[in-house]
Amino acid sequence: MLTFEAVDVMKHQAKVIAFRKDSFRVSFGDTSGFGDEEDYLRWLEEKKHAFPAGFMLVRENDAYIGQLELSIKEYNGESIGYIHLLYLVPEKRGQGKGLELYQYAKQFFLRYNVASYELRVSPSNTAAVNFYRKSGMEPIKTELDGKVIRMRGMLSHDRDTDLV
């Protein structure tokens, strides 16, 4: 069973940096686009104060196996849910655990009464693109000169539908 634990930036800084850097490695082939670790930690602290239930480490038994970064933001004049990061360690991918993180994200967005949620994913990360498509998200456009695909999922606010 997975449990979700709020990120404590000071306590978990090594883990969140490692997970975030690995997401860059998987998406773009290296970590050069990650930027400055201190800038990331400041951003994380700021965002987690605004959305405490959106910035979580994921545990299975006694080990951290994943991380979520979720918020609400304005985009094209509307409030949307945004998945900054949905991460699982490599050895836990492909086992259905990503779906548990995805369901947590959808429940988070439902609490904010948004109609949709979005994320950006590298087109070279085909496993992630396929996971999001299978989960009901659709690509809406490319951004950053084709480096990422923006994808959108819709929320019906019908609990039975959104839990599928």
Q: Which two tokens stand for residue 2?
A: 């997975």
* 3-state DSSP of 24-45: HHHHHCCCCCCCCHHHHHHHHH
Instruction: Write down the pTM of the prediction.
Output: 0.91
Q: Which amino acid is at 14?
A: A
Sign of the CA dihedral with 136 first, then 151, 155, and 43 last: positive
What pLDDT does 17 receive? Answer: 97
pLDDT attached to residue 162: 47
- Number of domains the chain is built from: 1
Provide the CATH number for the domain around residue 125: 3.40.630.30
DSSP letter assigned to residue 85: E
Per-residue confidence in pLDDT tens, the chain, 164 aa:
899 999 999 999 999 999 999 999 888 888 887 889 999 999 999 999 999 999 999 999 999 999 999 999 999 999 999 999 999 999 999 999 999 999 999 999 999 999 999 999 999 999 999 999 999 999 999 999 989 999 999 998 765 444 44
Per-residue pLDDT at 159 = 54
Residue 158: predicted pLDDT: 67
Domain that holds residue 48: 2-162
Question: Is residue 51 a contact partner of residue 70, using CB atoms and an 8 Å limit?
Answer: yes
